[in-house]
Amino acid sequence: MHRKTNSFKNIPIAILIILVLLIFLFPIYWNIVTAFKYSDEILAYPPKLIPSNWTFFQFNKLLTVSNGVFIQFFINTVIITISTILLVLAVAIPSSFALAKLPFKGSRIVFILFLSIFMVPFQCLLVPLYSLLTKIRLYNTKFGLILIYSTFFMPFCIFMLKNAFAQLPNALFESAILDGASKRKIMISLFLPLSIPSIVSCIIYLFIETWNDFILAFMFTSSNEVRNIQVGIMNFGKQRFSSDWGIINSGTLIAIIPTIILFIILQKYYIQGMTSGAVKE
């Protein structure tokens, strides 16, 4: 039946949506225009919503200051992020498969223990982790940072993948067993391809969390050879009595680009992952 919609009724909702969008998008807009302004215009009063002259001056400064250390930060972040994603997936996929389809005595408790890491605010662990990392000589190393990220972000991935695997019918597993497949073969040939949306969701989650991390990287790194992009931007954007907003904004703009590209490439799977299991097929 055709239902007539009252378009006037929707006007307040539309206004509200636009207002919320403005609040969320304005900082990004401000970041973009600031990155393309000359330094004197950045702090001009009244503020200029649109730069009078668009320039790559800030980017040039960002990439050349301190012998191009920004590129070092970028590479560090790429290495740390990709290693964290690989390490977490390498552990989380088999663990989740076992928890979902190969129940063993105490598997529920193991799962709850994984989730319990979730429940502890990571801020509480900063000091003990600091002393632990120092003791085992992993303070200010990429590997130390990768281990910490993996520990904190693993539980969510196990939670997500375990549910994804558990949703797949047992008959599939049993059918493959009767076909003669080993458990590893079943995991790789059947369960992985059928759980791609959830795996992609995990990759996006891990990428965003690791790439954008500030606190952990700030706590556990002290040299430019190890620092990630977020800590790096802050470090050389901040001077003794002022901040170089040009460098900070151009650095931030470069830092958010990989996340946006990744999301655009993988969003199809991500949306599938978010809605998987919502409707019974």
Partner 1 sequence: MAEVRLKDIVKVYDGGVKAVDNVNIDIKDEEFVVLVGPSGCGKSTTLRMVAGLEDITDGELTIDGKRMNEEAPKDRDIAMVFQNYALYPHMSVRDNMAFGLKIRKYAKEEIESRVAEAAGILEIEELLDRKPKALSGGQRQRVAVGRAIVRKPKVFLFDEPLSNLDAKLRVQMRTEISALHTRLQATMIYVTHDQVEAMTMGDKIVVMKGGVIQQIGSPLSLYNEPINQFVASFIGSPAMNTVSAKVREEGGKIIVDEGGFVITAPADKEEGLRPYIGKDVLMGIRPEDVTVDANATQAAYIKGTIEVVEPLGDETILYISTADHQIVCKVEPTAMVKVGDELTLTPNVDKIKFFDIETEKSIFYRG
In this complex, which beta carbon is closest to partner 1, that of residue 106 or of residue 180?
180
In this complex, which beta carbon is closest to partner 1, that of residue 131 or of residue 189?
189
| Cα–Cα distance measured from residue 222 to residue 204, given in angstroms and rounded to the nearest whole number | 27
CA distances for 268 relative to 263, 271, 273, angstroms: 9, 6, 9
| Cα–Cα distance measured from residue 182 to residue 167, given in angstroms and rounded to the nearest whole number | 20
Asked if residue 174 binds partner 1 (CB under 8 A), the reply is: yes
In this complex, which beta carbon is closest to partner 1, that of residue 10 or of residue 189?
189
From the list 162, 13, 175, 155, the residue with the least C-alpha distance to 99 is: 162
Nearest distance from C-beta of residue 112 to partner 1, angstroms: 20
Measured N-to-C along each axis, helices 107-119 and 142-167 cross at an angle, to the nearest 10 degrees, of: 130
| Cα–Cα distance measured from residue 198 to residue 202, given in angstroms and rounded to the nearest whole number | 6
In this complex, which beta carbon is closest to partner 1, that of residue 87 or of residue 176?
176
**Residues 143-172: x where in contact with partner 1 by CB under 8 A, - otherwise, as a string:** --------------------------x-xx
Residue 18's DSSP bridge partners are: none
SS3 220: helix
**Residues 178-217: x where in contact with partner 1 by CB under 8 A, - otherwise, as a string:** xxxx---x----x--xx-----------------------
Nearest distance from C-beta of residue 125 to partner 1, angstroms: 38
In this complex, which beta carbon is closest to partner 1, that of residue 60 or of residue 170?
170
Residues 6+ apart with CB under 8 A from 84: 146, 149, 150, 153, 206, 210
User: How many positions of this chain bind partner 1 (CB under 8 A)?
Assistant: 15
Nearest distance from C-beta of residue 196 to partner 1, angstroms: 9
Nearest distance from C-beta of residue 168 to partner 1, angstroms: 9
Nearest distance from C-beta of residue 171 to partner 1, angstroms: 4
| Cα–Cα distance measured from residue 211 to residue 242, given in angstroms and rounded to the nearest whole number | 26
In this complex, which beta carbon is closest to partner 1, that of residue 102 or of residue 177?
177
| Cα–Cα distance measured from residue 180 to residue 176, given in angstroms and rounded to the nearest whole number | 6
| Cα–Cα distance measured from residue 64 to residue 45, given in angstroms and rounded to the nearest whole number | 29
Interface residue with partner 1, options 20, 177, 215, 274 (CB under 8 A)? 177
Contact residues: partner 1, CB under 8 A: 169, 171-172, 174-181, 185, 190, 193-194
